[in-house]
Amino acid sequence: MLNNLIKSGIVMVTALAAPVYAGSHGNNGPISQQQFCNIISDYRTDYEKATSSNNEIRINNVLKKRSDELDALLPDGDFKDWEVEFLKATSSSTGGANVCMYIKSCDVILQTGTLKENLSERADYSVQYDTREYRAVSNLGRGDRALLSGKLTKIAKYQNGAEEYSYRKESLSDESKRLASNCELDLKASLLENKQLKSDTESLSGSVFKPQFFFFEIGYVAPIK
C-alpha cells in the first residue's frame, strides 16, 4: 500500500525566470476545489502520523478515508473550472499531448498521458491532436493560470484490483513516467529558485515537499487573462 501513491514533487528546469509557485497558501477556486484541497491537506497530516506509527493497518485506513472522501466529493471524478497553473506539455506517442497542471493551493499535480494496459477503462488519456483542448494547451506557457475542467481517473491497484484516485509509477507508460519526473523536477527547481523551498526535500515550513499526483482526462481548459 505504501507505494500506491506518488509522493514526490513535479519540476520544471529552465534558465528563464521562474514563475512563483506556492503550496500552502490561500485555497482558491470553486467550492469543489477548496474541498478537494481540504481533503488533501487532512490526508497529508493523517498519513504522516500513520507512517510514524509503524502500523500498516493505520496507514491503510488513512488511504481508505481519502478515497472515500474523494468519492463523496467527486462521485464520477468530474470537476469543473478549477484554478490551475500550467507546468509542462510534451508530445504523445499517440499524436496528441501529455500535460501537467499544478494546483498550488494544495500542492497537487494533475497529469494526462498514457497508462499501461488493463489498469483502467482505456490506456490513452492524452489530449487529442487538433481538438479545442489541444489548441488551448498549445498556447499556454510555464506558470500561466487557467480554468480547468475534466475527470479524475481511477486506476486499478495492483494488490487487489480495487480502483482509487491515485496512481503508482508502475501504472504509467514509459513516456508518462518521464513526464511525471520532469514535471516534478521543474516545479521543485522553480520553488528553489524563488526560495519557497529550503532545500531539495524541505519546504519553508519545515515539512517534506511531497506534491500529490492525480491522473485525469482533460475536458476543457481556458487561460485566465
Q: Tell me, letter by letter, the H, E, C secondary structure of the chain.
A: CCCCCCCCCCCCCCCCCCCCCCCCCCCCCCHHHHHHHHHHHHHHHHHHHHHHCCCHHHHHHHHHHHHHHHHHHCCCCEEEEEEEEEEEEEECCCCCEEEEEEECCCCEEEECCEECCCCCCCCECCECCCCHHHHHHHCCCCCCEEEEEEEECCEECCCCCCEECCCCHHHECHHHHHHHHHHHHHHHHHHHHCCCECCCCEECCCCECCCEEEEEEEEEEEECC
pLDDT reported for residue 31: 95
pLDDT reported for residue 215: 86
pLDDT reported for residue 225: 80
Cα–Cα distance measured from residue 23 to residue 9, given in angstroms and rounded to the nearest whole number = 11
Averages of pLDDT over each 10 residues, the chain, 225 residues: 33 28 58 95 92 92 89 92 94 90 91 75 85 95 94 67 59 80 80 59 48 88 91
Residue 130, CB half-sphere, CA atoms under 13 Å: how many?
Answer: 2
pLDDT reported for residue 103: 93
Q: How far is CA 183 from CA 132, 135, 160, in A?
A: 23, 21, 29
pLDDT reported for residue 210: 67
- How many other β-carbons are positioned within 10 Å of the β-carbon of residue 165? 18
Cα–Cα distance measured from residue 215 to residue 126, given in angstroms and rounded to the nearest whole number = 10
Q: How many residues does the chain have?
A: 225
pTM for the predicted model, two decimal places: 0.77
